[in-house]
Structure 1
Amino acid sequence: MTAPKISFEFFPPKSLQASFRLWDCVSTLAPLAPEWVSVTYGAGGTTRELTREAVGALGKEFNLRVAGHLTCVDASRAETLEVARGFRKAGVEDIVALRGDPPKGADGFTAHPDGFANSVELIEALAGEGFKVRVGCYPDTHPEAASADADIAWLKRKIDAGASEAISQFFFDADSFLRFRDRCAAAGIDAPIVPGLLPIENWEKTSRFAKACGAHIPTELAEAFDRAVRDDRADLLAIAQAAELADTLVCEGVEHLHFYTLNRPELTRDVCAALGVVPQVGLSQVA
């Protein structure tokens, strides 16, 4: 079986210690030769400048193709496009375009009076600027979607607006993704749908996050992690669970896997090794 293509998501550091952690994470994973990597954008645009700095540094120092995240939250159209053009000045031509989470404490998303009303408007503008645009999608259905069909219809609007690829929210059941992929194809979506995988570094935090974003947690998985945490073998289970999930997807024809690293490289590295993705000869940790 051919090893899959891979990509990684990182988040920008908010402290000196976090900067060292990001550097160590990228140093560990860059030799695996990812197709590209992305850097997230904090809720409410709180890491706007940090994201710009991080995408520039990763591209320059590690010779990686980097995608900057960009959202519609709390910024005018002009301000948002200024950030995008700042990415370009840093050598970045790829953007992950998202509506974005509302600022902390807000009841829900409210568009800026002079901003983009939704992700479709943002995608159209970025595609018009010549960026390669990737978007998010939700195998277990976005919690704000009226229905699963409405969620897929919205994804098609994003692809039709100029996005070239979709990256899924993390999930724990391969069948959830495979059914979603089939329904996307039936809806006329022909852009690649890349599954997003989250090796579980902390079960308690992951389960809270999953509930917040609508990712289904199989009962047997929750019970297995409860036991593993008690027995101090949660990392072993995390590697086995993510590797099995990834292997099932690859056997079903998936060619590219996207890993949410949480700036913690060890689990992602070990899962990749289980899939036959190993450091490339001649690739040093820092370019």
Structure 2
Amino acid sequence: MAVANLINQSKDERQFSFEVLPPLKGTGTERLFADIAKLCELNPAFINITTHHSEYVYNEMPDGRYERQSVRRRPGTIAVAAAIQQRFRVPVQPHVICSGATIEDIEYELLDLQFLGITDLLLLRGDKAKDDAVFRPTPGGHAHTTDLIRQVQRFNDGFFADGTPIKCPGQRFDIGVACYPEKHEEAPNLQRDMEYLLQKQQLGAQYAVTQLFYGNEKYFSFVEKAREMGITIPIIPGIKPFGKLSQLTVVPRTFHCDIPEPLAKEIDKCKSDDDARRLGIEWTTEQCRELYNHGINDIHFYTMGAVGSVVEIVKKLKA
């Protein structure tokens, strides 16, 4: 069943989905598949797989200058998605992003996915390079998620990006997108950011998954404003349990979200990462229960570095 349909049916039953990260180049898939096996015991609605097209590294040249080069550290999103689908028989949803890809690259990704029978996509712009002040689109690529959606919809309608008809169009792709309850870091304000989400819906996005957040009031307020603006697609809360003392400063800086003061005070009392992990499980479990009490039955977990915690949380919620 398509992810969009699974999300729509969650109005009547509680379900979970998980995001996983492809392994670093050369490290193999043994640990990833062991983690996915644990997650699949929880009967997820679907698993999505992140994409990291490239990162910039600086190599010193013989003359002492430094040359910036683009390196792919986590290849294999499509291959990992196909392996998960085949091995675990669970719906998969790979990320397709603008960053690091030309329009032609994306077209070939769509063809490969269609050949594999994978038709659920999460479309994203992707992160800017760490050293760049603003996002730099790849030459011949897209600058915005809305452009990427247009390309996928054109493919769905039976045309390649250059306008050439596709002789044998396959099954249409379903489209999910991201949204940001505390606004995207580059948006001037939340209102403008939500207008971008409305555009994504108008172009054909069928649901949105939020960036992680730790205060449910941020999510509730975001959804309320979205509905007032005419955004009607499901907005799935994205959750990641707190797990380490260092995350008190790292999480707000990396994910551009607030740590609520009640949680921050409890973190200050923790003496070790084990204490922080136990606190994260307790906080996230109660966070999810509050979402349930507000009629939210579909919860998406970011599992990177937190598979054990996520498993414990879901088991508590199922008990």
What is the TM-score normalised by the length of structure 2? 0.81
1:27 and 1:138 map into 2 onto residues whose CA distance is 30
Match of 1:123 among 146, 149, 154: 149
- Residues 109 and 168 from structure 1, CA distance in 2 versus in 1: closer, same or farther, beyond 3 angstroms? same
Q: Cα offset for 1:263?
A: 5.3
1:231 and 1:92 map into 2 onto residues whose CA distance is 38
Give secondary structure in 2 for the equivalent of 1:133: strand
Give the structure 2 partner of residue 224 of structure 1.
266
1:231 and 1:204 map into 2 onto residues whose CA distance is 8
Give secondary structure in 2 for the equivalent of 1:109: coil
Bigger mean CA deviation after superposition, 189-198 or 156-165? 156-165
Q: Cα offset for 1:206?
A: 6.3
Cα contact 2:20–2:304 (8 A) shared by 1: yes
Q: Percent identity?
A: 27
- Residues 102 and 125 from structure 1, CA distance in 2 versus in 1: closer, same or farther, beyond 3 angstroms? same
1:12 and 1:231 map into 2 onto residues whose CA distance is 25
Give the structure 2 partner of residue 194 of structure 1.
236
Give the structure 2 partner of residue 85 of structure 1.
111
Give secondary structure in 2 for the equivalent of 1:233: helix
Kindly provide the amino acid, as one letter, of the partner of residue 158 in structure 1.
Answer: K
1:269 and 1:108 map into 2 onto residues whose CA distance is 37
CA deviations on 1:11-48 (whole Å, 9 max, x unpaired) are: 10115656222111100011211111100011647367
- Residues 220 and 264 from structure 1, CA distance in 2 versus in 1: closer, same or farther, beyond 3 angstroms? closer
Q: Cα offset for 1:110?
A: 1.3
Give secondary structure in 2 for the equivalent of 1:271: helix
- Residues 231 and 133 from structure 1, CA distance in 2 versus in 1: closer, same or farther, beyond 3 angstroms? closer
Cα contact 1:43–1:103 (8 A) shared by 2: no
Paired residue total: 276
The 5-angstrom pairing of residues 139-154 of structure 1 reads: 139-154=181-196
Extract unaligned runs of 5+ from structure 1: 278-287
The 5-angstrom pairing of residues 101-180 of structure 1 reads: 101-128=127-154, 129=156, 130-180=172-222
1:48 and 1:88 map into 2 onto residues whose CA distance is 22
Cα contact 1:70–1:95 (8 A) shared by 2: yes
2:36 matches 1:12: no
Kindly provide the amino acid, as one letter, of the partner of residue 228 in structure 1.
Answer: C
The higher relative CO (CA closer than 8 Å, separation ≥ 6) is in 1
Cα contact 2:252–2:259 (8 A) shared by 1: yes
2:139 matches 1:97: no
Q: Cα offset for 1:163?
A: 0.8
Q: Cα offset for 1:267?
A: 0.7
1:209 and 1:18 map into 2 onto residues whose CA distance is 27
Cα contact 1:43–1:101 (8 A) shared by 2: no
2:292 matches 1:250: yes
Match of 2:223 among 157, 178, 181: 181
1:147 and 1:17 map into 2 onto residues whose CA distance is 40
What is the TM-score normalised by the length of structure 1? 0.89
- Residues 145 and 5 from structure 1, CA distance in 2 versus in 1: closer, same or farther, beyond 3 angstroms? same
The answer to which structure has the higher helix fraction is 1
Q: Cα offset for 1:88?
A: 2.2
Kindly provide the amino acid, as one letter, of the partner of residue 100 in structure 1.
Answer: G
Cα contact 1:6–1:258 (8 A) shared by 2: yes
Cα contact 2:248–2:259 (8 A) shared by 1: no
1:206 and 1:25 map into 2 onto residues whose CA distance is 25
